[in-house]
Amino acid sequence: MSGVKLTNLRKSYGAVEVIRGVDLDIKPEEFVVFVGPSGCGKSTILRMIAGLEEISGGELTIGGRVMNEVDASKRGIAMVFQSYALYPHMTVEQNMGFALKYAGESRDAIKQQVTDAARILGLEELLDRKPKDLSGGQRQRVAIGRAIVRHPDVFLFDEPLSNLDAELRVQMRIEIARLHKELKTTIIYVTHDQVEAMTLADKIVVLRDGRIEQVGSPLTLYDDPVNQFVAGFIGSPKMNFLPAIVKGDTLVLTELGGQTVPVPPLNNTLQEGEKVTLGIRPEHFRAEGPASLELAVEIVENLGGENYAYASHGTSDVLTVNTGGARDLAPGSALTARFDPASALVFAEDGMRLR
Ligand code: ADP
Ligand code: MG
């Protein structure tokens, strides 16, 4: 299996630079997930790796070989897209074998590869069907099968599950994890689904405006984000951000009517009067804790296991509070949201994390 290395990778369309110097080292067999807001360049990077998009600057190596100018068909890569156009007039078997037939492989070899892929994907019973007689999940499996038969060194997935309903997504997510264990292929996977990113990735790459913000294991990004952007992007529901001003060893929360909480333990020394942002994850609110916020409940969402209150103070932005087992909060009621300052993060005015 091959690793993939991007060195100062760049892409411009005319005068507009959309990929602005990306450095990334993907190890063989690693499962890497790209996340980031729409338009940040995820698909463009994938397409450059695949050879579907010319590289404007920097270097791409796959398995240690420079690939910038190598034809897409010779890069050892297969790509699965969100829209997985299958040939409607062909059976599952013909759809899966098409690329091999096109490449001039023998009938027996094609049969063998398609049978193997069908077994891995649980499609054995469906080989004679046409796409119109398949469910959405089965069609997506055929699209993945079409890629597997080519025995790629590197699999690229661009939001492959976005068109599926919630239940199927969960099922396919587990299948993709299983597939990775079985094939041990290097995988680069784009998604905007938090759970897919957190559960599938060995390593998540957070992108913004054509640049990498942070690379790390899912829990590293969750526990130890380098800046407010990553902190806000990883985690669902999202981290709460509270503007604050430093006063002695307290933070005055300017949008919560001047309520104060202790400054979290930091190595950085904060300046008197400094403007910072306090970050608290919804699940870090507890029944007990040395710091507390006085809030009013606006909306309650009791999901059973996880229960959330959306609460505010006066005209402040709404905070999300995971209320743990408490399901008895009513809209309009008062809520004292407690937390341990040690679990809160502090960001400087420019968004960088203060540690
Ligand atoms: P993502 O997949 O992260 O949503 P894309 O990689 O599709 O983002 O796009 C990154 C940026 O490049 C966007 O601003 C998009 O408008 C721009 N872009 C993509 N393809 C082209 C193109 N063919 N011509 C001009 N701009 C493009
Ligand atoms: Mg995209």
Contact present, 226 and 214 (Cβ < 8 Å)? yes
**Which residue is closest in CA terms to ligand 1's atom 7?**
43
Which ligand minimizes its atom distance to the CA of 39? 1
What pLDDT shows up at residue 166?
86
pTM to 2 decimal places? 0.94
For residue 296, pLDDT over 90 is answered with: yes
The model's pLDDT over 199-237, given as tens digits with 9 standing for 90+, comes to 999 999 999 999 999 999 999 999 999 999 999 999 999
For residue 316, pLDDT over 90 is answered with: no
What pLDDT shows up at residue 1?
80
Q: Compute the distance between CA of residue 57 and CA of residue 259 in angstroms, rounded to an integer.
A: 51
What pLDDT shows up at residue 98?
93
Report whether residue 13 contacts ligand 1, using a CB cutoff of 6 Å.
yes
What pLDDT shows up at residue 113?
93
- Which pairing describes strands 291-302 and 307-312: parallel, antiparallel, or unpaired? antiparallel
What pLDDT shows up at residue 81?
86
For residue 315, pLDDT over 90 is answered with: no
φ, ψ of residue 235 in degrees (nearest 5): 110, 135
**What confidence category does residue 163 fall into, taking pLDDT thresholds of 50, 70 and 90?**
confident
What pLDDT shows up at residue 317?
86
Report whether residue 38 contacts ligand 1, using a CB cutoff of 6 Å.
yes
Looking from the CA of residue 34, the nearest atom of ligand 1 is 3
**What confidence category does residue 324 fall into, taking pLDDT thresholds of 50, 70 and 90?**
confident
Report whether residue 54 contacts ligand 1, using a CB cutoff of 6 Å.
no
Q: Compute the distance between CA of residue 271 and CA of residue 265 in angstroms, rounded to an integer.
A: 14
Which ligand minimizes its atom distance to the CA of 17? 1
How many CA atoms within 13 Å lie on the side-chain side of 138? 17
Q: Compute the distance between CA of residue 265 and CA of residue 109 in angstroms, rounded to an integer.
A: 63
Q: Compute the distance between CA of residue 301 and CA of residue 323 in angstroms, rounded to an integer.
A: 10
**Which residue is closest in CA terms to ligand 1's atom 26?**
13
For residue 31, pLDDT over 90 is answered with: yes
**What confidence category does residue 189 fall into, taking pLDDT thresholds of 50, 70 and 90?**
very high
Contact present, 55 and 91 (Cβ < 8 Å)? no
- The distance of Cα 58 from the centroid of its chain, to the nearest Å, equals 25
DSSP helix/strand/coil, 333: coil
What pLDDT shows up at residue 82?
83
Q: Compute the distance between CA of residue 342 and CA of residue 50 in angstroms, rounded to an integer.
A: 44
**What ranges do the domains of the chain cover?**
4-233, 240-354
What pLDDT shows up at residue 209?
98
What pLDDT shows up at residue 326?
81
The model's pLDDT over 67-125, given as tens digits with 9 standing for 90+, comes to 999 999 999 999 998 887 899 999 999 999 998 998 899 999 999 999 999 988 889 99
Looking from the CA of residue 42, the nearest atom of ligand 1 is 3
Contact present, 286 and 344 (Cβ < 8 Å)? no
What pLDDT shows up at residue 150?
86
**Which residue is closest in CA terms to ligand 1's atom 23?**
13
Report whether residue 257 contacts ligand 1, using a CB cutoff of 6 Å.
no
- Mutation probe of ligand 1 site: the residue of 11, 13, 46 with most atoms within 8 A of C-beta: 13
Element holding 25 (H helix, E strand): strand 16-26
What pLDDT shows up at residue 90?
96
- Which pairing describes strands 57-62 and 275-280: parallel, antiparallel, or unpaired? unpaired
Domain 240-354 listed as CATH 2.40.50.140: yes
**What confidence category does residue 136 fall into, taking pLDDT thresholds of 50, 70 and 90?**
confident
Contact present, 263 and 250 (Cβ < 8 Å)? yes
What pLDDT shows up at residue 165?
84
- CATH topology for 4-233 is Rossmann fold (3.40.50)
Q: Compute the distance between CA of residue 294 and CA of residue 338 in angstroms, rounded to an integer.
A: 9
The model's pLDDT over 262-275, given as tens digits with 9 standing for 90+, comes to 999 999 899 999 99
- Asked if domains 4-233 and 240-354 share a fold, the reply is no
Question: Cβ neighbours of residue 328 under 8 Å, at least 6 residues apart?
Answer: none
DSSP helix/strand/coil, 210: coil
For residue 250, pLDDT over 80 is answered with: yes
**What confidence category does residue 337 fall into, taking pLDDT thresholds of 50, 70 and 90?**
very high
What pLDDT shows up at residue 168?
83
Contact present, 201 and 31 (Cβ < 8 Å)? yes
Looking from the CA of residue 45, the nearest atom of ligand 1 is 6
- Average pLDDT along the chain: 94
**Which residue is closest in CA terms to ligand 1's atom 21?**
13
Percent of the chain with pLDDT over 90: 85
